[in-house]
Copies of this chain bind each other. A is one copy, B any other.
Amino acid sequence: MVDFTIQLEKIQQAVGILKEKNVDCWLTFVRETAHNSDPALPLISPSNVTWHTALIITSKGDKIAIAGRYEVGNFERMGVWDEVISYDQSIQPALVEVLDRLNPKQIALNYSESDTAADGLSHGMFLTLQRYLAGKPYEFISAEGILSSLRGRKTAGEVARIRAAIDLTDQVIGRIGEVLEPGMGGLQMANFVLGEYEKAGVPPAWDIKYCPTVTVGPDSPVGHLSPTDQYIAKPGDLIHMDQGVILNEYISDIQRVWYLQPKGETTIPEAVQKGFDTVRAAIMAAAAVLKPGVQGWVVDDAARQTVINAGYPEYKHATGHQIGRTVHDGAVLLGPRWERYGNTPYGIVEAGNCYTLELGVPVPGHGFIGLEEDVLVTENGVEWLGNVQTELYVIPA
């Protein structure tokens, strides 16, 4: 029932990354993770925890888990921890004893102003750690560099799972094209998609209230909003969807666009075609510069300038985010150098990263054209992880 394959891969990878980045010790310190999740935990633990739990990995290869009496069994079963230490009343004595023994110079903790996927330590837990280790010589540092690589360098097992989620989504997208027609509302379309997910036994990749996100025609607002039947599709409308699924704990994230072509119309209106071509060109421009060693913002800029140069309004989000266990999988962002993105657009892309490439433009009178493709960064460039939308999907209406 419980499969540890990915966690074993990631724990081994972590030791290598600690060595590479010259950090003595990485501590994941969590409790009641059903409330306060740490995005790092699922990489190295097969389940949530309830009591205070400390997972310690060092650059020398030590792997030590300290957990509450009723939860140590889950760590013992993994077979990868050198020591699994149990406690009843307080984790402090065991934690202090282990750290005294390891005597690290720095302890990397899961906090980061920039990278949400490296910011799982709550402020309360940080205060507890300060109290537990008062007077000790250890220097607390952010684990963001470690987690950026650990989370970002997908293992073979992780890439296979992402591909499977994308493949399933591609199949659903095919079926959407068979049912779309004038008269359908956005909520009705969303419910069709959710019905397909349910048949496949998979949940949506993000909040069911706006996954899928559906934009119908020219008046429907764009964004992470719940679909409504306030906007009903009519001939000449663009239908746009942003969606994904969780399959075997890994996700897909794809945007597609359909055009309801009025009877008698023989060519796609120029404004619609230009919109599609611009979005497609911008995605290809990003893909062309996306490779190991490049900074995230450079990739964003290639796509962004394509859209601006074509005379469209600049989109107000990043061109690409990593995908994996979560839709926004943290670490290096293919985004503009805006304050709210912190240092994530300045990070360096690495082989094994899985990214979305996504953006859109409005076409007045018709609707919104947005595309989102999922790619794997290889040594030389990118590999598309699923189908790619290279032309408008035209539905006679």
Contacts and interface: CB of A to CB of B under 8 A. Distances in A.
Given A35-B326, A122-B122, A338-B90, A225 B117 contact: no
A339 B34 contact: no
A207 B122 CA distance: 21
A32 B322 CA distance: 13
Given A1-B209, A209-B1, A328 B119 contact: no
A316 interface: yes
Interface string A41-66: 00000111011100000000000000
A298 interface: no
Interface in A320-358: 326-328, 330, 338-340
A223 B69 contact: yes
A113 interface: yes
Interface stretch (A14-22, A123-131, A254-262): A123-131
A224 B123 contact: no
Interface stretch (A70-78, A266-274, A383-391): A70-78
Interface string A145-177: 000000000000000000000000000000000
Contacts of A109: 123
Nearest to A190: B1
A112 B2 CA distance: 32
User: Chain A interface secondary structure, helix, strand, loop or mixed?
Assistant: loop
B32 A116 contact: yes
The number of chain A residues touching the other chain, given as a range, is 35 or more
A50 to B, nearest CB: 7
Contact of A187 (B1, B88, B92): B1
Interface in A207-236: 207, 209-210, 221-228
25 contacts: A1-B226, A1-B228, A34-B328, A35-B39, A35-B116, A35-B117, A35-B120, A47-B207, A48-B206, A69-B316, A70-B223, A70-B317, A77-B226, A89-B338, A89-B339, A90-B339, A92-B339, A111-B122, A113-B125, A114-B124, A116-B124, A119-B122, A119-B124, A120-B122, A124-B142
What are the 10 A-B residue pairs with the smallest beta carbon separation, nearest first? A70-B223, A90-B339, A119-B124, A32-B116, A111-B123, A123-B126, A89-B338, A35-B39, A119-B122, A111-B124
